A and B are shown apart, each in its own frame.
Chain A
Amino acid sequence: MTEGLKLTIERRDGLAVIYTEGYINNQGGEEIARAAYSLLDEGYRRLLLNLTGTRIINSIGISILIEIIEKMLEVEGRLAFCQLTPTIEKTFHIMGLAQYASIYPDERAAMAQLTG
Chain B
Amino acid sequence: MTERSPLREVTLVLPMAPDMELVASQAASALASFVGMSADRVDEVRMAVVEACINAFEHSHSEDRHVDITFRVWGEKGPDRLEIEVHDGGVGFSLADVEDPHIEKKIRSGRKRGWGLKIIQGLMDEVRILSGSRGTTVIMSKARGGGSQES
Contact = CB atoms under 8 A, between A and B. Distances in A.
Interface stretch (B65-73, B82-90, B111-119, B128-136): B111-119
Contacts of B61: none
Contacts of B18: 2
Contacts of B40: 85-87
Nearest to A58: B50
Given A2-B18, A87-B123, A62 B103 contact: no
A98 B127 CA distance: 25
A96 B47 contact: no
**Majority DSSP secondary structure for residues of A touching B:** helix
B108 to A, nearest CB: 7
Contact of B112 (A55, A67, A85, A91): A67
Given A67-B112, A87-B123, A94-B119, A56 B50 contact: yes
The residue in B19, B40, B104, B116 that gathers the most chain A C-beta atoms within 10 A of its C-beta is: B19
Contact of A70 (B20, B54, B108): B108
Contacts of B80: none
Interface string B86-115: 000000000000000111101110001101
Given A62-B115, A91-B122, A56 B103 contact: no
Interface stretch (B4-12, B21-29, B138-146): B21-29
Given A1-B20, A2-B18, A94 B107 contact: no
A60 B58 CA distance: 11
B25 A73 contact: no
A96 B44 contact: no
Contact of B51 (A3, A59, A69, A86): A59
A31 B46 CA distance: 23
Contacts of B51: 58-59
Given A62-B115, A66-B103, A91-B122, 13 more contacts: A3-B22, A25-B19, A56-B22, A56-B43, A58-B51, A59-B113, A70-B108, A85-B40, A85-B43, A90-B44, A91-B123, A96-B104, A99-B103
